[in-house]
Amino acid sequence: MKSSLLVRDIPATEGSMALARLHNDDVVIWRGQITFSEVNNNRVEAWVKVTTEEGVEGWSRLYYLRPESYKNIEYIVTKRH
């Protein structure tokens, strides 16, 4: 089974709605918006607002993304393997 990363409507795992599903090597645009949200066991994680290649805008965990290139203020990132 291939792993995937959800793009959510709010930066949280609980109470959020999945808007899109990213797979390894999918590309998203991050324009620098970041926030921190509590996840399991009182752990805090960074979430970034991204736009998928299909134009879906939502939130994903920064931990699973890595910079691929930098263009102006936009960061193209891909999901970690």
Q: Give pLDDT tens digits for 57-68.
A: 999 998 888 776
* Measured distance CA(61)–CA(37) in Å, rounded: 10
Q: What is the pLDDT of residue 73?
A: 46
* Measured distance CA(63)–CA(44) in Å, rounded: 11
In the three-class reduction of DSSP (H, G, I as helix; E, B as strand; rest coil), residue 17 is classed as: coil
Structure-token pair, residue 24: 């390894």
Which of residues 74 and 28 earns the better pLDDT score? 28
The domain spans of the chain are 4-79
Q: What is the pLDDT of residue 71?
A: 54
Q: What is the pLDDT of residue 39?
A: 72
pLDDT in tens, 33-55: 999 987 777 788 999 999 999 99
* Measured distance CA(52)–CA(56) in Å, rounded: 5
